[in-house]
């Protein structure tokens, strides 16, 4: 299994303007009723064996996230993108992660985009929304974990100003 890196984005000099939504797409906070859609999207987003082995397992994991198993779920800082009424990208954020080896700040526990909507800037848009919400709430940083070999996600986070937390702490 690939090593996990903890990354952090400092919000001290963050420009707190919510980015505009691309035409035809809706960005809105997630809600409990999104469970099935998010479970399906989560299951289909990863290659087999990376995240969940079945749709049921994926949906159960989203439910566990909503229920606070990975920290208090922060719906407002967990926006989704909808296209034609269907969720096509989502970021999932908790107020604080429950693990010892994590920074004391909001924590992104998941991020995924439907395969046929990738490379359109949706994940970047959602992370920026998340950072805006966190900044407006008085938070000074947002953190996350990423597998060392997840090149697309690492490129995205780096472009948004995330850096290695271990080397800062």
Nearer to ligand COA, 69 or 138 (CB): 69
Q: Order across the sheet with 86-94: list the strands.
A: 25-29, 79-83, 86-94, 107-113, 141-147, 4-10, 163-164
Min dist. Cβ of residue 89 to ligand COA (A): 5
> Any contact of residue 45 with ligand COA (CB under 6 A)?
yes
Considering only 61, 133, 156, 162, the residue that binds ligand COA (CB under 6 A) is 156
Task: For the chain, report the end-to-end CA distance as a whole number of angstroms.
Answer: 24
Nearer to ligand COA, 42 or 138 (CB): 42
d(CA 8, CA 23): 30
Q: Which residue in 83, 158, 84 sits closest to 113, CA to CA?
A: 83
| Beta-bridge mates of residue 141 | 10
Spatial separation of the C-alpha atoms in residues 55 and 63, rounded to whole Å: 12
Nearest CB to ligand COA, comparing residues 36 and 158: 158
Query: Which of 16, 68, 98, 152 touches ligand COA (CB under 6 A)?
Result: 152
Binders of ligand COA among residues 75 to 104 (CB under 6 A) are 89
Which residues contribute to the site for ligand COA (CB under 6 A)?
A: 45-46, 89, 111-113, 118-124, 146, 150-153, 155-156, 159
């Amino acid at each position: 299994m690939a090593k996990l890196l903890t990354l952090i984005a400092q919000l001290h000099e963050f420009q707190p303007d919510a980015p505009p939504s691309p035409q035809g797409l809706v960005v809105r906070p997630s809600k409990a009723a999104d469970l099935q859609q998010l479970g399906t999207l989560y299951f289909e987003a990863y290659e087999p064996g990376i995240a969940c082995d079945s749709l049921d397992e994926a949906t159960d994991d989203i439910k566990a996230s909503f229920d606070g198993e990975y920290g208090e779920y922060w719906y407002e800082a967990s926006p989704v993108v909808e296209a034609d009424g269907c969720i096509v990208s989502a970021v999932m954020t908790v107020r604080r992660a429950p693990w010892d080896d994590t920074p004391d700040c909001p924590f992104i526990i998941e991020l995924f985009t439907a395969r046929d909507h990738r490379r359109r800037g949706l994940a970047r848009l959602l992370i920026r929304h998340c950072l805006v919400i966190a900044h407006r709430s008085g938070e000074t940083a947002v953190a996350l974990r990423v597998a060392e070999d997840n090149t697309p996600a690492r490129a995205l986070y780096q472009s948004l100003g995330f850096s290695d937390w271990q080397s800062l702490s």
